[in-house]
Amino acid sequence: MENEGNDTVDSATLLPALRAGLTKGLRGTVWMLKILLPCSFLTFIIEASGLLSHLDFLLAPAMGFLSLPPEATLPLLAGLLAGIYGAVAALAVLDLNLTATILVAVFLLISHNLIQEGVVQARSGLNFFKATVTRLAASVATVLVLARLLPESAALAPAMAAPSQAATPFGVLLRAWIWDTGILSLKIFAIISAMMVVMELLRVLRVIPLLARMLRPVLWLMGLSPRVGVLWLTAAVFGLTYGAAVIVEEAREGHFHKDEIEHLQLSIGINHALIEDPAIFLALGIPALWLWGPRLLAALVTVHCHRLWAGWRTHQRRRLQTKAITGS
């Protein structure tokens, strides 16, 4: 009888979670399209007008440093200021090769929506400028390393099919944009809906605290205290913005040491929304390895470097104090 009751409860709980996930997926897609469509159309107009070719002398040096073409400026700016969706909208229009698309994706997975997410991190224990500069530095360093590791064959493979725009009538380009954007929107709806269903099921089944306990070895490897496991997992699954309420509330309660919060913030600033953000870039045909691997490694290296730097500073401070006391 008890097992039957549990089965009934499970069914009654999982079905609403499934409906809630699909509803949130639809709502999230509509919200995202409000960003995607204007950004995509603006990028299409700029690309079709040939404006970028007149700005090569300004954009080429900065983009060249990152091993990117000048037109990569558009998705980078869109992602840094507006978030992942605007960047994907811009990338869907531009005819970048696979290597450039991967580099832009990795850069923006680490550094995106910097103003909003910087404020969230500042409210929960990490200085806004430190959070922002750390993410930008991690993006640049990761892309510089990755540009030298990607196989040469990747540079020759097109990231997505795109018609040549040389001497092509505007009407033809517009119809192509409408078709490509429609297909991309359907892909994103499917990805977002699946993601939201998984999130709802995780929440209803209360799997996150259990996963946090299971992930203690991972947290140790990442240079994080096991006590911040639930907070790390919240940001990893729901992202900085969606998980902000939990992170801010827990930080406010003062349950954690300042260093624990700082290391957590450095890690999740670089590596958060592990389901949603990389999954959006999958719609552009980027292999999963490049969407998850470099960012995870960048977060690991950043936290351990910070721990070493903090340890060295503490050692130096103690040494100076000892010299001051002994007078030598």
Spell out the SS3 assignment of the chain: CHHHHHHHHHHHHHHHHHHHHHHHHHHHHHHHHHHHHHHHHHHHHHHHHCHHHHCHHHHHHHHHHCCCCHHHHHHHHHHHHHCHHHHHHHHHHCCCEHHHHHHHHHHHHHCCCHHHHHHHHHHCCCCHHHHHHHHHHHHHHHHHHHHHHCCHHHHHCECCCCCCCCCCCHHHHHHHHHHHHHHHHHHHHHHHHHHHHHHHHHHHCCHHHHHHHHCHHHHHHCCCCHHHHHHHHHHHHHHHHHCHHHHHHHHHHCCCCHHHHHHHHHHHHHCCCCCHHHHHHHCCCCCHHHHHHHHHHHHHHHHHHHHHHHHHHHHHHHHHHHHHHHCC
How confident is the model at residue 276, as a pLDDT? 82
0.75 cut: is pTM over it?
Answer: no
The predicted pLDDT at position 109 comes to: 96
- How many domains does the chain fold into? 1
**pLDDT (0 to 100) of residue 154:** 42
Per-residue model confidence as pLDDT tens digits over 95-151: 889 999 999 999 999 999 888 788 778 877 789 999 999 999 999 999 999 999 986
Average pLDDT, the chain: 80
Q: Give tens-digit pLDDT for 198-232.
A: 767 877 777 767 777 888 899 999 999 888 887 88
The band of 309, judged by pLDDT with boundaries at 50, 70 and 90, is very high
Model confidence band, residue 245 (pLDDT cutoffs 50, 70, 90): low
What percent of the chain stands above pLDDT 70? 80
Domain that includes residue 31, residue range: 2-326
The residue among 17 and 242 whose pLDDT is bigger is 17
